[in-house]
């Protein structure tokens, strides 16, 4: 019976992550460019501390969004709830360049002079 319980929780976690990724897919394509040059220590801190914590916050936010979805739909603010609880935390984890302080993709602009 304990094994069934673990599998049930695993299915819930996978479902929450899948819903979160499906909600976020359009936002990844329209990420803004970031012009920052973070140091190595800032990148390491981001990789080892900020990203794992952000992933935890994003997972909790996605779960809270799913639980609050019926109330949000009835209240007419499901889009706002999705933006604040799922999209914004996920952008901080998945779209922000390593060590950067603002969300967006890091792209080098080539000067052809």
Does the pLDDT of residue 3 top 90, yes or no? no
DSSP readout, the chain? -HHHHHHHHHHHHHHHHHHHHHHHHHHHHTPPEE-----HHHHHHIIIIIHHHHHHHHHHHHHHHHHHHHHHHHHT-HHHHHIIIIIHHHIIIIISPTT-SS-SEE-PPPP--
Q: Give pLDDT tens digits for 6-33.
A: 566 667 767 766 666 666 555 555 455 5
pLDDT reported for residue 23: 60
Structural domain boundaries of the chain? Answer: 41-91
Per-residue pLDDT, 59 = 92
């Amino acid at each position: 019976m304990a094994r069934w319980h673990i599998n049930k929780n695993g299915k819930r976690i996978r479902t929450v992550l899948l819903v979160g990724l499906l909600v976020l897919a359009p936002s990844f394509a329209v990420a803004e460019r970031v012009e920052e040059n973070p140091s190595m220590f800032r990148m390491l801190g981001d990789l080892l501390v900020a990203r794992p914590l952000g992933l935890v916050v994003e997972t909790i936010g996605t779960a809270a969004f799913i639980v609050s979805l019926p109330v949000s739909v009835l209240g007419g603010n499901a889009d706002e709830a999705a933006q604040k609880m799922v999209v914004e935390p996920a952008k901080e984890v998945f779209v922000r360049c390593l060590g950067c302080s603002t969300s967006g993709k890091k792209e080098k602009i080539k000067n052809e002079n």
